[in-house]
Structure 1
Amino acid sequence: MPISPRIKKLLFGVVPVWTLLNCEVQQPNAGLYLPEGFKAVVVVDSIEERVRHLAVTNDGIVYGKLRNSNENGGIVALQDKNKDGRAEIMQKFGAYRSLQKWSYSTAMRIYNGYLYFSSELVIYRYKLKPGTLIPEGEMEIVMTDDHEHGKHEHIGKPIAFDNKGYMYVPFGAPSNACQNPKRTPGAPGMDPCPQLEDHGGVWRFEANKLGQTQKDGYKYASGIRSVVAMDWNSEDENLYIVMHGRDDLLRLFPNIYSGWESALLPSEEFIRVTEGSNFGWPYCYYDQIQEKKVLAPEYGGDGNITGRCQEFDDPIMGFPGHWAPNDLVFYDGDKLPNRYKNGAFIAFHGSTNRAPYPQSGYFVGFVPFKDGKPSGDWEVFADGFAGVDPIVSVKDAEYRPMGIAFGADDSMYISDSVKGRIWKIVFHGDKNNFGQDQLAEMEKRKLLSHIRTPDETKDNLMAGAFTGGEKIYYTYCSTCHQQDGRGATGRFPPLTGTEWVIGDKERLINIVLNGMEGSMEVNGEVYNGVMPQHSFLSDEEVADVLTYIRTNFGNDAGEIKPEEVRKLRSSL
């Protein structure tokens, strides 16, 4: 079956904006675009298991938290012996048994002479010995998430430390917006939301105490949906988070939100987290366009009214929706230009669910700080990771920035989650004569489609009339499985050439009607996203969308009839 004309246009008919801007020439900074005076080299080109967060010792050893642990280890150690910026030594260690292989690990921080890291449920540490590549002692367990919750969303465990011996750990919300059933169009949110008792917040623990569980911690803050980017700001002695905002405004409430609004909203909130603060999830979200918190549609919101949201804390800054902030690091060194002192670097991993508009993010941003608060607008610090613009499908991106760390010499390290590449960035300019002129070229990059606000009409990649299964696909499926059906690595499986799609009809119908959580292997890769149930679709709609999928994206399988859906639905 040939690829549909609309998909063919997506795959082959988009003119890269970079070409129009004459940016197609390979840049000298290992493919990255940086402010004037900064230079980049590749520390390691790729690591098969892919790297999440990073940490760097005072003697320059780089540790990377691998996405999953296997028999070779859950951590990679890198060492540059000849000081050319590239690692000659790479060794893996720190294997642990992942209790839930469907999820993936994140945290990596050095604190008080220990290397702390996490799986999806456990925080571990190793005692570091200066001059030694691999820790010699036993791996210790600091904290275990011992809930009997099995699989749920936002279960990652990033960590941060203050200057008083405390460790901060988020327990992410196990849903998008506390609906029951979850992620179901029009379903109200539970009120009050029972998930807030043990989730949707940050807990504080003693950093040097072993064998803790959540009940040993103190609930420090609440109303926080999903956290990957978190750091302690030593200048003002506060915890900061860039929170992942909620999803699916259009899919869940198409009578309230347009595709453009759903692509931009809600904000990824940059929040200062103080003891007792509450940021309003799931009842409210921050709208960066209106610059205010608004009531969530599950709780009676219409995209404008504030309602109970006045009770909750506001962010210090609101970034556009779905940029996926996956690391936050405050710079407290002295070798970079003064504007970066005490400022915040944020790795925006990049969106997966901005359809029908181009994907966005995929860069490292910077927010200047003074006296413990932002002193200016956000900036583009490092870009070029994706290697293409516009980014139609997440798999178009060659690299995605994930982790950030600084060495003792103020070198900056950035990890990539697609191929496991790590860059080292060093400043070689004149720090005393660094200003707007040196930032001018980076400011221009805000005009690229993966950073700027899309035009509601001109940037709509799906403009035009839709009918039948194609319309249903782009309404309910494309934000995850992507407009071209290729999915998103590790989260949403592809719909191209897989037995899950072109094989057993009953299994496919059952997944659409009932949803699916947990790990699944597709074409040799494990995926761990959440497939919501779509039982609200009629038998005809389910048949239409599955027939569309089975006869597009390079697939050539038979149609599914409404009677087949009806028969299976009645037996459930």
Structure 2
Amino acid sequence: MYWKPLQKFTYRANPIGWLCSLGLCMLLSCAPDSNLPPGDPDNGGLFLPDGFQAVVVIDSVGRARHLTVDQKGDIYMKLRVPNSEGQGLVALRDTNNDGKADVVEYFGDYPDTGNYGTAMRIYNGYLYFSTAGEVYRMKMDMDNLVPTGDAELIVKDDYKNAEHGYEHIAKPIAFDNEGHIYVPYGSPGDVCQEFNRRPGAPGMDPCPQLEWHGGIWRFDANTLNQTQQEHGYRYATGIRSVVAMEWNQEENALYVVQHGRDNMNRTWPDMYSPWESALLPSEEFFRVDEGIDGGWPYYYYDQMQGKKLLNPEYGGDKKIEADPAKITYPLLGFPGHFAPNDLLFYRGNQFPDRYKSGAFVAFHGSTIRGPYPQAGYFVGFVPFKDGKPSGPWEVFADGFAQLDTIVNTGDAAARPMGLSMGPDGSLYITESVQGKVWRVMYTGKKGDFGPAALAKMEERKNTRTNIKDPHPEKDNLEVGLLEAGAKTYNLYCATCHQRDGKGDGTRFPPLAETDWVTGNKRRLIEIVLNGMEGPITVNGVNYNQIMPAHNFLSDEDLASVLTYIRKSFGNNAVSVSPLEVKRVREELAAKETN
């Protein structure tokens, strides 16, 4: 029924994909692929091992999450939230094999709960995807780019433990070879405290959240309208939050990379230094066999010591270890807060042999590493043998952020999010800021790939501030920033707001412990750039004075003084970077011009 249109389109756009659709991939897997498009001159801004090239498939489709590529080479992406027309799915097609998408179609009409739409996978002729609260599927159409028919509801989250909040609500999915779909249910809070994220608050023991969260549940992939309570089977427990997950076909097993807990210094400042809090706890790479317990919320993994330690909320003292007979240790641990958001085991033949069966991990990037540089924002690789890592993790693709040092998350131009392999073995990568998509290809000679290419990536791992472990003193960004900010503050601000930041109590408001300072950074930057006049209420007291514009300050000076007041006078908010100031200044200037 569809032979002619399928043959006509797929052969022109991607002959390898066409042959794969006929089941002939293995017959051609050893042949060099001469049909790869040229890479961009700058590889789309990416830093890759020698012999690899990248082409930007599309520059911007919206805040993208996960993606999948079908056997014709068509790309399907999930947006974090639907567009203005209520469509949260995007299909991309390259009709002339130049590597660039020339057909872009938005589609999808389905109820969307929350703003963490994530999953995008193809399984048994269906396109499966998720919102924060639901897993849907649509029937693929071999004659058309966009699936036809209505979205079918597979699993609906019934929000157990909602009274404790619901923080980790993303719904990645994976499929085994027996008709099952796996869905994580992330923890409602950070570490199962009686009062979530309150410094010093004890953890609940036993943790009631583990009944419905903090683990992986298994469902039937083909049954509609399932709920966790009625149809789900708890496959594994003690896993805090998962966005990166895949079924490893060679091992016939589920693998995940967990997001670790947050803010150890803020909640336990006498026990953990800011440096320790920047690196701990580890993002844990697990093989998830049925019935395992990953240890959350009682334990965390310290990758520097290679130990699973008891959390302080449960009486931990940085020494008490977990019993490995009861608690599953990770295969390896990445540094803290890298934010692993997708996982892909490479099964193609285009890349050099050392990548075969290994795991690519997309690190979305940290938000809470201050006063040290934010970290992650790259795609890593873990070589595998016999289902286990056969060497340390490596850097595969970097340069997404387009910055040498990332002070704040918003400074990054792009944050890698989703991974998928095309029918010819190309690696596709999405990012979540604008929705750019890269296609990474190996165009060198496989026999030439060796230690030199890996040494270049190892050097980057050990020197780039978004990847390497920070030095406790040299990489502390606030040391010089706070000193410079204090000088600017005392020169321009202390006369009114006083050197202690408490104001004068009548005319000039305090800067200490107020949301005007510790809250929205953009609002604060605008106030200093534009000045302010008229009545305001600060900490329950009314003020009505004029604050002159300080737009004469450079981006660097303004960033340093705002960082100083957000870190002083009892405040403990994140830094402000010169790039953030520059962006706001430019946007305000553009408004005035228009």
TM-score bin, normalised by smaller chain: 0.7 to 0.9
**What is the match of residue 372 of structure 1?**
387
**What is the match of residue 357 of structure 1?**
372
Question: Which of 287, 293, 308 pairs up with 1:278?
Answer: 293
Write out aligned runs for 1:290-439 (5 A).
290-306=305-321, 311-439=326-454
Write out aligned runs for 1:446-461 (5 A).
446=461, 447-461=463-477
**What is the match of residue 265 of structure 1?**
280
**What is the match of residue 93 of structure 2?**
79
Q: Deviations over 1:334-369 (max 9, x none)?
A: 221111111100000111100010011110000011
- Classify 1:494/1:268 alpha carbon distance in 2 versus 1 (closer, same or farther; 3 Å): farther
Q: Which runs of 5+ in 1 are unaligned?
A: 1-25, 488-492, 511-540, 555-572
* Residue identity opposite 2:183 in structure 1: V
Secondary structure at the residue paired with 2:478? coil
- Classify 1:211/1:349 alpha carbon distance in 2 versus 1 (closer, same or farther; 3 Å): same
Write out aligned runs for 1:27-42 (5 A).
28-42=42-56
Contact 1:257 1:303 in 2 (8 A): no
Secondary structure at the residue paired with 1:139? strand
**What is the match of residue 119 of structure 1?**
131
Secondary structure at the residue paired with 1:195? helix
Question: Which of 142, 145, 153 pairs up with 2:157?
Answer: 145
Question: Which of 89, 108, 120 pairs up with 1:108?
Answer: 120
* Residue identity opposite 1:57 in structure 2: D
How far, CA to CA, are the matches of 1:377 and 1:431 in structure 2? 22
Question: Which of 53, 65, 73 pairs up with 2:66?
Answer: 53
Contact 1:393 1:484 in 2 (8 A): no
- Classify 1:332/1:360 alpha carbon distance in 2 versus 1 (closer, same or farther; 3 Å): same
Question: Which of 60, 63, 74 pairs up with 2:76?
Answer: 63
Q: Deviations over 1:494-551 (max 9, x none)?
A: 754489xx999779789xxxxxxxxxxxxxxxxxxxxxxxxxxxxxx9996499999x
**What is the match of residue 89 of structure 1?**
103
Contact 1:223 1:278 in 2 (8 A): yes
**What is the match of residue 199 of structure 1?**
213
Question: Greater CA radius of gyration, 1 or 2?
Answer: 2
- Classify 1:304/1:43 alpha carbon distance in 2 versus 1 (closer, same or farther; 3 Å): same
How far, CA to CA, are the matches of 2:50 and 2:228 in structure 1? 46
Residue 396 of structure 1 deviates from its aligned partner by 1.5
Identity of aligned residues (%): 54
How far, CA to CA, are the matches of 1:548 and 1:108 in structure 2? 33
Residue 468 of structure 1 deviates from its aligned partner by 5.9
Residue 62 of structure 1 deviates from its aligned partner by 0.3
How far, CA to CA, are the matches of 2:166 and 2:501 in structure 1? 29
Say whether residues 1:129 and 2:145 are aligned partners: no
* Residue identity opposite 2:187 in structure 1: A
How far, CA to CA, are the matches of 1:181 and 1:349 in structure 2? 28
Contact 2:110 2:151 in 1 (8 A): no
Residue 113 of structure 1 deviates from its aligned partner by 1.0
Q: Which runs of 5+ in 2 are unaligned?
A: 1-39, 487-498, 503-511, 542-566, 582-594
Residue 311 of structure 1 deviates from its aligned partner by 2.7
Question: Which of 222, 244, 256 pairs up with 2:259?
Answer: 244
Higher relative contact order (CA 8 A, sep 6+): 1
**What is the match of residue 5 of structure 2?**
none
Secondary structure at the residue paired with 2:88? strand
* Residue identity opposite 1:272 in structure 2: R
* Residue identity opposite 1:153 in structure 2: E
* Residue identity opposite 1:125 in structure 2: R
Question: Which of 192, 195, 199 pairs up with 1:185?
Answer: 199
Secondary structure at the residue paired with 1:228? strand
**What is the match of residue 6 of structure 1?**
none
Secondary structure at the residue paired with 1:126? strand
Question: Which of 163, 173, 176 pairs up with 2:190?
Answer: 176
Residue 184 of structure 1 deviates from its aligned partner by 0.4
* Residue identity opposite 2:466 in structure 1: H
* Residue identity opposite 1:62 in structure 2: I
How far, CA to CA, are the matches of 1:170 and 1:504 in structure 2? 49
* Residue identity opposite 1:451 in structure 2: I
- Classify 1:485/1:440 alpha carbon distance in 2 versus 1 (closer, same or farther; 3 Å): farther
Contact 1:189 1:298 in 2 (8 A): yes
Secondary structure at the residue paired with 1:304? coil
Residue 429 of structure 1 deviates from its aligned partner by 1.2
How far, CA to CA, are the matches of 2:455 and 2:266 in structure 1? 39
Secondary structure at the residue paired with 2:150? coil
Residue 273 of structure 1 deviates from its aligned partner by 0.3
* Residue identity opposite 2:224 in structure 1: L
Say whether residues 1:210 and 2:220 are aligned partners: no
Contact 1:469 1:545 in 2 (8 A): no
Q: Deviations over 1:370-420 (max 9, x none)?
A: 111111111111000011111111121111100011111111110011111
Contact 1:231 1:240 in 2 (8 A): yes
Say whether residues 1:441 and 2:456 are aligned partners: yes
- Classify 1:307/1:65 alpha carbon distance in 2 versus 1 (closer, same or farther; 3 Å): closer
Residue 209 of structure 1 deviates from its aligned partner by 1.1
Residue 332 of structure 1 deviates from its aligned partner by 1.0
Aligned residues, how many? Answer: 484
Say whether residues 1:160 and 2:169 are aligned partners: no
Q: Deviations over 1:286-342 (max 9, x none)?
A: 000110100101001122222567631100000000000000011111221111111
**What is the match of residue 9 of structure 2?**
none
How far, CA to CA, are the matches of 1:417 and 1:347 in structure 2? 11
Alignment root-mean-square deviation, CA: 3.3
How far, CA to CA, are the matches of 1:72 and 1:417 in structure 2? 18
Contact 2:308 2:322 in 1 (8 A): no
Contact 1:395 1:486 in 2 (8 A): no
How far, CA to CA, are the matches of 1:271 and 1:495 in structure 2? 42
**What is the match of residue 519 of structure 1?**
none
How far, CA to CA, are the matches of 2:535 and 2:189 in structure 1? 29
Write out aligned runs for 1:16-27 (5 A).
none
| TM-score, length-scaled by structure 2 | 0.76
How far, CA to CA, are the matches of 1:455 and 1:546 in structure 2? 22
- Classify 1:112/1:547 alpha carbon distance in 2 versus 1 (closer, same or farther; 3 Å): closer
**What is the match of residue 585 of structure 2?**
none
- Classify 1:45/1:244 alpha carbon distance in 2 versus 1 (closer, same or farther; 3 Å): same
How far, CA to CA, are the matches of 2:45 and 2:284 in structure 1? 29
- Classify 1:549/1:368 alpha carbon distance in 2 versus 1 (closer, same or farther; 3 Å): closer
Secondary structure at the residue paired with 2:129? strand
How far, CA to CA, are the matches of 1:547 and 1:294 in structure 2? 28
Residue 30 of structure 1 deviates from its aligned partner by 1.2
Q: Deviations over 1:163-184 (max 9, x none)?
A: 1111100000001000111100
